[in-house]
Amino acid sequence: MDRPATAPPSAETVSSESLAAVVREYWGYDSFRPCQREAMESVLTGRDSLVVLPTGGGKSLCFQAPALAMPGVAIVVSPLISLMKDQVDALRACGAPAAYINSTLTTQQRHKVTEQLRRGELKLLYAAPERILMERTLSFLKTIDVSFVAIDEAHCVSTWGHDFRPEYTELGALKDALPGIAIHAYTATAAERVQGDIIRGLRLRDTNLLIGSFDRPNLIFRVRRATRKLDQIMSVIRRHQGESGIVYCISRKEVESVAGALKELGVRAAPYHAGMGDVARERNQEGFLGDRIDVIVATVAFGMGIDKPNVRFVIHAGMPKSVEAYVQESGRAGRDGLEAECLLLYGGGDAMLWRRIIEEGEPNILEGALHSLDEIVQYANSVGCRHQSIVGYFGQDLGRDNCGACDVCLEELQLAADPLATAQKIISCVARLDQRFGAGHTAKVLAGSRDQNLLSRGHTNLSTHGLLSKERMTTIRDWIEQLVGQGYLQRVGEYHVLQITETGREVLRGNTTPHLLAPAQGASRSRTQAADSWEGVDKRLFDQLRELRTKLAAEKQVPAYIVFGDTALRDMARRRPSTLEGFTQVKGVGEVKLRDYGDLFLKAITSHCAEQKIPTDTEATGDRETRRGSPDGNTAFQRYDHGTDDTPSPSAPALAAFKHFREGRSIAETAEILSRAKSTVVGYLGAFLKHHEVIDPTPWVDEATTRRVEQAIEEAGGETLKPIYEQLGGEVSYEEIRIVATCVANRA
């Protein structure tokens, strides 16, 4: 029999005080983040809501805490099985009665969940949209006490969203199936047009729209043109040695290549993409969540619902497909509120690759996807504050001129010497071309190309032809993109014809000056770090607590962060409590975790303090939130040089050859296996010998020849190869001499 419709509990029935008590009991938090209290009160009053909070803003708590405080069970619609499992595991670890129902459960397990629901033993039930909308599921829900429905990852409703899912568009039917039950939608990224789609698609009524700040002050954003991509990636990894990070690639092939190269360089890395088998994908994901793998290299198939809070860096090894996708993906860094680094590397072909992928996809999302692609291209080529660009995309203002946490505001980027004159030349060329051609054609004119297309149109006779002939074509294209990104030029129509905006005409008049970057000279030599989050932390103790966390997580077969996040471990290593009472003051320690883990962590802390002869129960001098600027206006982020981190890494193709050299294969054998020219593989071998400091050349040069070359090096010196070659009478090849000489140099 259907249950009678009942009014939802009012805000008076479940007070803010009892809500705060729930948060303290289960999660160990003493305060709310921005918008959380308002979002929770909307649930308590039974008013439909749309909550948009950035990744790491605590949106899950907005429905989890009210569910525990209210009578009945909350139904949570979630798009991924892995997301459901992780969230339910985390809730159970806090002592919250939660479950999920999906295809991974056996019939017996599903029956158990059903009985728990009938008896009112569960407070949260997670399920996918297609299961929720089954007729038998809806019929069953009408027989139990449902407190409310929460739609997680609600941007999936919108065709303008970055992760559109057709099954989400049917969820509006819940309004008819569960009359009187409020629906609350939650997402981390939704521009205004997506917000409208969510409200319409879910048929929300009298919607309480709560939009948090999209600014993530603990994230340091950088954008670079990809030059030596592997070097640029390794530079970030070296700065975060032993810490967790994600590297996103556009294609599966690049995922495998980069993951293989990183492993060859000694990084605990693993690939993840849709072309892998389910078992391999799950193994690698669990290894990453359990801190057994430091770096996951992935396509965008990896990420939604990854709640790992201690990701210290996210690198995009290629341009993402939209600003919203970039905010979502980069936002997986620093979810714990501690400092983290986000680097976007882009190349000239990235946009074209995405355009091809998009055009081969679903036609009903083509227009929105291509428009979104244009927006991320503009972001990548802009030279304004990265934080302001991101919040501005979502219709917000940063409220300050300098964020203190991006490559632009940290003055890491070198600007062109005379940007006004350069911009005037480019915009003048667009005018001379009657605003009828795209960026590629315009760049050719400025570079002074004698391309047949230019000759046939008479464009080699234009006054702007060759005005930037001293610059590389890629530099000119970059400058054009930067002018588009800053609004001085715009693309129009199907063929992306360049046209001059009103602000662009102001440049021609000399009334405003754009920012243009100097040609790329390689990787940045600066970095930032937030000192506050490490203030007072005993780093040796922190590392020991991380090891204990990993061990406990492996025993319980849960991700490491479910035991404790890095924020909690740093606070433990800062406070160094010696009693259970002191342990309750640590951030993120609720009653269940105090009971389950308190004694184990206290033992580790007190043992360390005794061994090091340092005091326990210290004041939490660093106990404050990571922030962008201090009250006196000084930034919390500091710059410093990389030092020796600039040593180039071997290329990814070279690293692919390393395992063959280790196995003792010859140059000819390796060349055949890799389908590379022999001369190319000789170069790979040189990189292998230097990188691993090999001192014995005999696997590739016979012993007699090796002895002859070594003798010649001793007699002729080893600075250049030609004297050695002549000393040997031209009887030994330069390739063999180079191999032996490298090994001799490694012995020094």
Q: What is the pLDDT of residue 99?
A: 95
What confidence tier does 680 reach under pLDDT thresholds 50, 70, 90?
A: confident
| Structure-model confidence comparison of residues 1 and 498, the more confident one | 498
pLDDT over threshold 50, residue 445: yes
Q: How many whole angstroms separate alpha carbon 648 and alpha carbon 228?
A: 8
DSSP 517: B
pLDDT over threshold 90, residue 140: yes
Those residues with Cβ within 8 angstroms of residue 346's Cβ, 6 or more apart along the chain or in another chain: 223, 224, 225, 226, 316, 318, 319, 380
What confidence tier does 524 reach under pLDDT thresholds 50, 70, 90?
A: very low
Which range among 4-18, 29-43, 329-343, 452-466 shows the weakest confidence by mean pLDDT? 4-18
476 closest CA partner among 508, 447, 433: 447
Q: What is the pLDDT of residue 643?
A: 36
pLDDT over threshold 60, residue 305: no
CATH of domain 16-211: 3.40.50.300
Those residues with Cβ within 8 angstroms of residue 191's Cβ, 6 or more apart along the chain or in another chain: 160, 324, 393, 394, 395
DSSP string computed for 397-452: --SSS--SSBTTTTT-SPBPS-HHHHHHHHHHHHHHTTT-S-HHHHHHHHHT---H
**What tokens appear for 198 in the block?**
């969510």
Q: How many whole angstroms separate alpha carbon 300 and alpha carbon 645?
A: 29
Q: How many whole angstroms separate alpha carbon 497 and alpha carbon 484?
A: 11
Q: What is the pLDDT of residue 632?
A: 33
Please work out, in degrees rounded to the nearest 5, the angle formed at the alpha carbon of residue 281 by the alpha carbons of 275 and 287.
Answer: 150
pLDDT tens digit sequence for 351-383: 888 888 888 876 666 777 888 888 898 888 888
Which range among 249-253, 587-591, 644-648 shows the weakest confidence by mean pLDDT? 644-648
pLDDT tens digit sequence for 494-509: 778 999 999 999 999 9
pLDDT tens digit sequence for 232-241: 999 999 999 8
Q: How many whole angstroms separate alpha carbon 621 and alpha carbon 728?
A: 69
Q: What is the pLDDT of residue 515?
A: 84
The alpha-carbon radius of gyration of the chain (Å, integer) is: 30
Torsion of CA 276, 277, 283, 286, to 10 degrees: 70
| Whole-number average pLDDT of the chain | 85
CATH classification of 219-393 is 3.40.50.300, yes or no?
Answer: yes
Q: What is the pLDDT of residue 648?
A: 65
Q: What is the pLDDT of residue 665?
A: 86
pLDDT over threshold 60, residue 169: yes
Average pLDDT over residues 215-231: 90
Q: How many whole angstroms separate alpha carbon 446 and alpha carbon 2?
A: 74
pLDDT tens digit sequence for 611-663: 988 888 886 544 443 333 333 333 344 343 333 344 567 777 778 788 888 88
16-211 and 530-612 have identical folds: no
Q: How many whole angstroms separate alpha carbon 97 and alpha carbon 122?
A: 5
Average pLDDT over residues 220-241: 90
pLDDT tens digit sequence for 712-731: 888 887 667 888 888 888 89
Q: CATH top-level class for 530-612?
A: mainly alpha
Q: What is the pLDDT of residue 14?
A: 58
Q: What is the pLDDT of residue 165?
A: 78
Q: What is the pLDDT of residue 715?
A: 81
Q: What is the pLDDT of residue 436?
A: 94
Which residues pair with residue 406 across a beta bridge?
221
Average pLDDT over residues 661-686: 85
CATH classification of 419-508 is 1.10.10.10, yes or no?
Answer: yes
pLDDT over threshold 90, residue 98: yes
Q: What is the pLDDT of residue 617?
A: 86
DSSP string computed for 589-643: --HHHHHHHHHHHHHHHHHHHHHHT--SS---TT-S---SB-TTS-BSEEEEE-G
Q: What is the pLDDT of residue 162?
A: 62
Q: How many whole angstroms separate alpha carbon 562 and alpha carbon 410?
A: 35
Please report, rounded to a whole number, the percentage of residues in the chain having pLDDT higher than 70. 90
CB atoms within 10 A of CB 442: 25
Domain boundaries, the chain: 16-211, 219-393, 419-508, 530-612, 652-746
What confidence tier does 212 reach under pLDDT thresholds 50, 70, 90?
A: confident
Q: What is the pLDDT of residue 343?
A: 96
Which range among 66-80, 134-148, 149-163, 519-533 shows the weakest confidence by mean pLDDT? 519-533
Average pLDDT over residues 541-560: 88
Average pLDDT over residues 602-608: 93
Average pLDDT over residues 61-81: 91
Average pLDDT over residues 693-697: 88
